[in-house]
Chains A and B, each alone.
Chain A
Amino acid sequence: MTTVDPDFDAAREERRARLFTRINKADNWFRVLGLAWITPILKAAAGDNPRAQMKDVWRLLGVPLLAIALFLALWGALAPQVQTSLGAIPGPVQVWEQVENLHAEHERQMDRRDDFLARQDARNAERIANGDEPRYRDYTGAPTFYQQIWTSIKTVFFGFLLATVVAVPLGIMAGLSATANSALNPIIQIFKPVSPLAWLPIVSIVVSAVYTNDDGLFAKSFLVSAITVTLCSLWPTLINTALGVASIDRDLVNVSKVLKMNTWTKITKLVLPSALPLIFTGLRLSLGVGWMVLIAAEMLAQNPGLGKFVWDEFQNGSSQSLAKIMVAVFTIGIIGFLLDRLMFAIQSLFTFTNNR
């Protein structure tokens, strides 16, 4: 297209150019959110070389969908061939049935809660009529699957935040001072490989002894799970922060000396911004580790989240148990993936790379 073209319309071309710029900018965000396949579709719709865009769409969307379909087909074919004492291993259809079942159980529980609240309102109306104070109590039914998912997410974030608060300052210290690094290093190396299952009894006993207020903000099982998550997930953040801080460009450190910056300014204006990419890498790793550890910690500490759900289903030993456990496995995986994407998105907001 040149300006000699009789069909050339300057305004339309300008609009198109602006559209493509917007699509390219949006592409950055789509990539971050894992939706990179939307861009070629938009570009094709806007008329930019549709055939090349279709190739991109195939690579970004078509191939993954095909792989997933192949996995489901393979699973559906192989699963019924393995017989266990709880029945055949469930295939995709049975697992989907349990998803519907869990939703139905959630609905049933919500109905019973509404009945309870209605009865409570009726009782309170009577009490008010008799001149007594109305009494309000929470519904005491078992938590449903969705409530358990939410409890797990709350617990992992609490543990993760605690881990960040502990690990980042320690990491900065270890990065800035070689002495601190030598001091912390043996402790880090020894405690890093310890499994959450080994920490759990100790954490349990300590929390039981120290946190004796039964009506406090947190349940003991919540604290035990969250602290176990902290103990296992603070190491990636700590190590990466130390590494990030230690590998600041020498020139920048010299600048801080020339400008005679005090420690606080040095940390906030120099160290943190330079080390952020590695700190965020550490945070992402920590959240990933924390989510894995959480499931094990919940199973043993009986925190009412996904870990307890899996454990209870194992104990139930009903014919639906294996399928429900698989639903939990997929849920754990999908939530882990979403958490990772979330951290990646936050990381993109706060860091500068050569591509931006």
Chain B
Amino acid sequence: MGERLAIDRIRCDGYGMCAEMFPEGIELDDWGYPILRDGIIPDGLLPLARRAIEVCPVLALRLVNAPARPQSTSPVRPRPVESAPRS
């Protein structure tokens, strides 16, 4: 049991300051929107996660309790991830 970050994707406007505060847990995609790393945040990094939550101008981030193995929230579609054809 521990805590992980959760994000309100509609509130998020791609400010990207969260990734500046907590690069170990958040990186930005090609358009500046956050990609959250899966899994529980190690205790030592929780202060950084909290700073990331505070700095967000739209309060899109929050901490939630997480089970040891976080469950996928995507629809259950056992489609293997296809890589690009050899090009």
**A and B co-occur in one complex:** no
Interface residues of A (CB under 8 A from B): none
Q: Interface residues, chain B, CB within 8 Å of chain A?
A: none
